[in-house]
Structure 1
Amino acid sequence: MKWALLSLAFALPAQATEITPDGLDSLSGFDVAFLGEVHDHPGHHLNQARAIRAIEPLALVFEMLTEAQAARAPSTWDNAESLASALEWDGSGWPDFAIYYPIFQAAPEARIYGAAVPRDQARALFGQALPDVFEGDAERFGLDQPLSAPEQAARETLQAEAHCNALPVDLLPGMVAVQRLRDAELARVAELALHETGGPVVVITGTGHVRRDWGAPAALALAAPQITTVTLGQYEMAAPDPALTDFWIVTDAVARDDPCAAFQ
């Protein structure tokens, strides 16, 4: 039964569809919507806000906020600066709060949840096993099971590429474990938010976390297959083939400094 559920959780969407932002206006009818982004792309956040207005969620789950930060979210706020201050966003390492603010404006009555993995918890994975670090039920979310050799290798390759092939090889398994932990935490908090608010729930996170084959939706499908979900990926210039989300949007890239410069 365990492996049958794993196969179900990691299945790719049957009908993946590229859409334009207009298609976000009808994105509703699910318990949990995973809305991906390229973090520093203002247009991606505007698209997320547009989807949120259609979904009308009762809860917003953020990869960018810890549980403690989310607990400080006020019931009302006057402007982006006051909300950013309450959430202690500045200094968090995430892009300017101004480009995230439309997401909050789109659902001002929604309850805010944080699903960020604290740094000390992530660091612990370089010396401890996933089930010992995850604060939820590791078995429910598949963290008690090792990855297959091909998937482990594929994930390590992605981690190497994401870090400009500058990481020592012996760090890559730990980086994969951190990614799995973050996916499971997003899924755990999404399930909690659905239970506490009745939903719908929107999860705001990077597009890498919303892929159906091994991202947060897969972890949630394994833990609670009765919960209905939809996934939206947002990409710059081109989407992967095959598509890894139910729907996806391709946008132009934003101008940015060379991300690999920091590793040189």
Structure 2
Amino acid sequence: MKWALLSLALVVPAQAEQIAPDRLDSLPGADVVFLGEVHDHAGHHLNQARAITSMKPRALVFEMLTKAQASAAPESWTTAEELAEALNWDGSGWPEFAMYYPIFQAAPDARIYGAAVPRAQARAVFEQPLTAVFAGDAARFGLDHPLPAAEQTARETLQAEAHCNALPADLLPGMVAVQRLRDAELARVAELALRQTGGPVAVITGTGHVRRDWGAPAALARAAPEVTHLTLGQYEIAAPDPALTDFWIVTDAVDRDDPCAAFQ
């Protein structure tokens, strides 16, 4: 019953509110702040940088960087090109580094952490249980049990839609497992960064990972309920109802090619 009540609280945050970018200058304090994004939206990264300028984090956790990449970050840099080269950003598959550079500039003294799940590790969940693949204590982060049937179905539906309904149905459970693995890794590294630096910690990740009901914040709450956290989602055109984040920003959409064209 206690866990059920906590889960309900995570799903319906008391302070849920759509905000304008100027509110990023005065977000409530928290040990860990999850800053969501649409990855190829330059405006979303500027909003993240604005929040970071205000919160002054001691650590930045990136979904886009592996542990090895983050470890290669120099203590100081003078240009975006210099930092991108040190992080081995080019060829990573993420949008161009110029979009993300303002985030680094906003907290140049923050320690950089990587929470990316390497491809080989992500592929392993299609053949092995999550408890065997996750780098941390799987039970602490809720990876030692299957999802409720309704949640599993909802997650598979979202994965199908995210991939333009082009994936074979038998791949969807594995895609959900990869998402759970990534959420748990973001939470694990955020907790590690907090313990090592004292915080606050800013987590840079896709908005899908910052939802309170089953994203990285839920994994962190399960593993370390004493850690305070805040979530910001960013959406194009409209937010889902409910948004499932503490705060959210709605922006115009960027002009991009049809993402489903690759599946045709």
The TM-score range, normalised by the shorter chain, is: over 0.9
RMSD: 1.3
Structure 1 position 4, deviation (Å): 4.4
Q: Check conservation: 1:34, 1:232, Cα contact below 8 A.
A: yes
Measured in 2, the distance between the counterparts of 1:86 and 1:260 equals 33
Deviation at 1:13, TM superposition (A): 1.1
Maintained 8 Å contact 2:7/2:213: no
Deviations 1:77-136 (Å, cap 9, x if unpaired)?
011000000000000000000010000000000000000000000000000001110010
Structure 1 unmatched ranges of 5 or more: none
**C-alpha distance after superposition, 1:122-157 (max 9, x if no partner):** 000000001110010000000011111110000000
State how 1:172-191 maps to structure 2 within 5 Å: 172-191=172-191
Secondary structure, in 3 states, of the residue corresponding to 1:232? Answer: strand
Pick closer, same or farther for the CA change 1:82–1:5 going to 2, 3 Å.
Answer: farther
TM-score (norm 2): 0.98
Which residue in 2 is equivalent to 1:208? Answer: 208
Structure 2 residue matching 1:235: 3-state secondary structure: strand
Partner of residue 255, structure 1: 255
Following TM superposition, by how much is the alpha carbon of 1:29 offset from its aligned partner in structure 2, in angstroms? 1.3
Matched, 1:85 2:50: no
The aligned residue for residue 228 of structure 2 is 228
Looking at structure 2, the residues matched to 202 and 27 of structure 1 have their Cα atoms a distance apart, in angstroms, of 12
For 1:178 and 1:12, the matched residues in 2 are separated by 25
CA distance in 2, matches of 1:237, 1:74: 38
C-alpha spacing 1:105/1:59, structure 2 compared with 1 (3 Å): same
In the alignment, the residues of structure 2 paired with residue 151 and residue 72 of structure 1 have an alpha-carbon distance, to the nearest angstrom, of 38
Residue by residue over 1:189-224, the C-alpha shift from the partner in whole angstroms, topping out at 9 and shown as x without a partner, is 000000000000000000000000000000000000
Q: How many residues align?
A: 264
Cα deviation per residue 1:30-54 (whole Å; 9 max; x = unaligned)?
A: 1000000000000000000000001
Give the structure 2 partner of residue 118 of structure 1. 118
Contact between 1:30 and 1:228, CA under 8 Å: does it hold in 2?
A: yes
* SS of alignment partner, residue 34 of structure 1: strand
Structure 1 residue 60: Cα displacement:
0.1
2:64 partner SS: coil
User: 1:244 aligned to 2:224?
Assistant: no
Distance 1:12 1:212 in 2: 8
Indicate the residue corresponding to 1:47 in structure 2. Answer: 47
Q: What SS class does the counterpart of residue 260 from structure 1 fall into?
A: helix
- The alpha-carbon distance between structure 1 residues 195 and 178, as it changes in their structure 2 partners (threshold 3 A), is same
Kept in 2, the 8 Å contact 1:212–1:231? The answer is yes
Matched, 1:141 2:141: yes
Q: Call closer, same or farther: CA 1:230–1:117 in 2, change over 3 Å.
A: same
The superposition leaves residues 220-252 of structure 1 with CA deviations (integer Å, 9 ceiling, x where unpaired) of 000000000000000000000012100000000
Q: What percentage of aligned pairs have identical amino acids?
A: 80
Unaligned runs of 5+ in 2: none
CA distance in 1: counterparts of 2:150 and 2:253, whole angstroms: 31
Q: CA distance change for structure 1 residues 6 and 169 in 2, over 3 Å: closer, same or farther?
A: farther
| CA contact 1:238–1:250 (8 Å) conserved in 2 | yes
Q: Is the 8 A contact 1:9 1:218 kept in 2?
A: no
Aligned to 1:24: 24
